[in-house]
A and B are shown apart, each in its own frame.
Chain A
């Protein structure tokens, strides 16, 4: 149990275009999803936390207009990188968490999405 998937696993896009990344919890309901970004040879940095049906909470320094997060259902959250530029190239990882006190009340991580902006 507790499987989280991401789609696509990798994407290459042109500068100025927008890219959408999906994060799905496959076998549990995720009331909260987290989006992380990992730069080469560095650790994961939390970008934002999203609760189902409400607006995401962004970490300091993360542009909310550039990284649009939608958590419309209990099994799906999307991250849209708008007007992508080469500096947005990175590895994006999501995690999902179930209800507090339930069997999935910790973060389970997806496999990540490699974004390359040309």
Chain B
């Protein structure tokens, strides 16, 4: 079955530091890959997505590239801000989000001034 593995947190960074959150997946076929963000006390928001190999999703300075050869979808940001503090979930769906979305366990990011 499908599964997503992402690095355990929490991750604590100083403002303007470089961020990488690793995510690898196991799936049949060619899944779509997502990063969701959950701010404290709120629900999930789609941060970015990629639907095929070598696609790069990007939003709000965050980027992730769909690497089929390494089954990875690592999240990166060049310079984090305090407002980026949240929990980040890597996820996949075998049908572009149409059917069941499988989530990783989430990585909590804390950015300190």
Interface size on B, residues (CB 8 A): 18
List the interface of chain A (C-beta within 8 A of B).
6, 34, 41-44, 46, 49, 93, 95, 97, 100, 105-112
Q: In the assembly, what is the distance between CA of A49 and CA of B44, in Å? A: 18
Contacts of A46 in B (CB 8 A): 100-101
* A100, B98: Cβ atoms closer than 8 Å: yes
* A97, B104: Cβ atoms closer than 8 Å: no
Count A-B contacts at CB 8 Å.
Answer: 46
B30 to chain A, nearest CB (A): 16
Q: Mark B86-104, 1 if CB is under 8 A from A, else 0.
A: 0001000100111111011
A25 to chain B, nearest CB (A): 14
B43 to chain A, nearest CB (A): 4
Q: A42-B105, A42-B106, A43-B103 are in contact. Are A93 and B96 (CB under 8 A)?
A: no
* A112, B43: Cβ atoms closer than 8 Å: yes
CB within 8 Å of A: which B31-70 residues: 36, 42-46
* A106, B98: Cβ atoms closer than 8 Å: yes
Among A34, A95, A109, the one with the most B-chain Cβ atoms within 10 Å of its Cβ is A109
